[in-house]
Structure 1
Amino acid sequence: MSPLVIAALVALLALVLVHVVTPYLRFLEGTPRSIWLSVAGGVSVAYVFVHFMPELAESRETVAKAAGELGLADRHVFLIALAGLLTFYGLHRLAQTSRSRREGEPVQGGRGSEGRAEASTSPRVFWIHMASFSVYNALVGYLLFHREVMTLRSLAFFATAMALHFVVTDYGLNEDDKEPYRRIGRWVLVAAVVAGWLLGLLTDVPEAAVAVLTAFLGGGVVLNVLKEEVPSERQSRFWAFAGGAAAYSALLLAL
């Protein structure tokens, strides 16, 4: 195997490990929000804005040409990023509504009051979550092989950012879906990221398609991090979030 394939396999194993162990990392639990979750969120958002977005800006002409017959402008790639953000915002609101109804309370912005047992989402919402995040995970697995810049260094930065991002999303899914996520959901997501990796290993797609996939993933990453950090009842660690973002941004710019 080539060094890039071996490195992508190591990255895949790291992402799989995150899904397996995150629901059992007790130091991430509690209020105020764990400093490590805030740092991880800052790193993944920094990667999107410092690395993803400049790449997307460079590839927008390619996407515009591929979509030319539809009459779409060169902002098409950023509209796809917005679509990714809106998709996962819709999923977040769906989970909030489902949990609130099962608790018999009005829909709120967070996950309930501290000290009270909280309901999980309904089975229907759980499977919608799993289907949507399976696509999300498959995109990450696929992009281990197909990014705008294909080097070992870019792979290391991408895999690190996505592994930390998976910690944040897994924690949120565990809070929303609870036992069904720990029993079934995390294994569904493991299968999805492995399937995406295998698809990336065996297939190749045009540059425009890579840009579209990257844009959608970038929008999803931003929303999935901010929905965990912003609500006031999380008592998030702003300085940890900002520090993680600043440190990873500096690293990306320096290397």
Structure 2
Amino acid sequence: MTFWLSFVFIVGFITLHLLSKNMKFIRAVPRSRFLSIVGGISVAYVFLHLMPELGEYQENLDGEIGNALWSFLEHHIYLVAMVGLAIFYGLERLAKLSKRKNIHDQNSKPSAGVFWIHIGSFTFYNAIIGYLLIHEEFSGSWGMFFYFVAMGVHFITNDKGLRETHKENYDKYGRWILAGSIFAGWGIGLLTEVNEIVLSILVAFISGGIVLNVMKEELPEERESSFAAFIAGLTTYSLLLLLL
């Protein structure tokens, strides 16, 4: 049952990646209230599900690891979340600086090298999300469903941001690679299983990345984001997760 449900959700993730281009009702500027709502949903999931889970991982692993490096991470797993946030912030700055250098070119966009670095990082990011669909500790089918909703709407936000940055390169190459990476991560999850410390690192990294990727879309003034819509998504999804 879990396999088939995860398969349905993976197909859903891929479909969202490939079809988000056709969601014309979602505007980047001024920012659609829908995007602000789904930003709140993703952040709520990170802080009410993924972050508390990291605390549980630390408790379970306490004293179980002998290696000095792993032992250090055992007690400071939130540093990985911070690193994930910093990495995606750096990648975003790299893309913006490259785009600014090419501002006088027709249809200004980052260089090809920056495009592939950016897409490569999100390939890893998406693969982790696909992998966790198999190995995340969900509270039954509803738990997996809430994960699918939170990550699915997050993919829509990422698609909009990456398309705005890289333009036709994203539609021609990026979205197909990212859709495939979700399936690849899920497939790896079916065939392999890592220990708890590695799993906690993956969860921490993706948590930091999600927070940064949501807030970078919400905060810029030119986005004209809706704080009320963001709070509505955050509050509503938080209540659903707490009830779960």
Smaller-chain TM-score bracket:
over 0.9
Superposition RMSD in Å: 1.7
Aligned partner of 2:173 in structure 1 is 184
Alpha carbons of structure 1 residues 5 and 148: separation in structure 2 relative to 1, 3 Å = same
Aligned partner of 1:131 in structure 2 is 120
Matched, 1:252 2:220: no
User: Which 10-residue stretch deviates more, 61-70 or 46-55?
Assistant: 61-70
Aligned partner of 2:220 in structure 1 is 231
Alpha carbons of structure 1 residues 29 and 148: separation in structure 2 relative to 1, 3 Å = same
Aligned partner of 2:3 in structure 1 is 5
Aligned partner of 1:193 in structure 2 is 182
Q: How many residue pairs were aligned?
A: 242
Paired residues of 1:137 and 1:189 also in contact (CA < 8 A): yes
Question: When the two structures are superposed, what TM-score results if normalisation uses the length of structure 1?
Answer: 0.90
> Match for 2:20: what amino acid?
T
Identity value in percent: 43
> Match for 1:59: what amino acid?
Y
> Match for 1:85: what amino acid?
L
> Match for 2:231: what amino acid?
A
Paired residues of 1:37 and 1:168 also in contact (CA < 8 A): yes
The separation in 2 between residues aligned to 1:151 and 1:223, in whole angstroms, is 28
Q: Deviations over 1:77-130 (max 9, x none)?
A: 10010111011001110111011110059xxxxxxxxxxx85121111110111
Aligned partner of 1:110 in structure 2 is none
The separation in 1 between residues aligned to 2:112 and 2:209, in whole angstroms, is 23
Q: Deviations over 1:42-83 (max 9, x none)?
A: 100100001111111111134564475225164421001011
Structure 1 unaligned regions, length at least 5: 106-116
> Match for 1:184: what amino acid?
Y
Structure 2 unaligned regions, length at least 5: none
Paired residues of 2:74 and 2:197 also in contact (CA < 8 A): no
Aligned partner of 1:28 in structure 2 is 26
The separation in 2 between residues aligned to 1:42 and 1:241, in whole angstroms, is 5
Question: When the two structures are superposed, what TM-score results if normalisation uses the length of structure 2?
Answer: 0.94
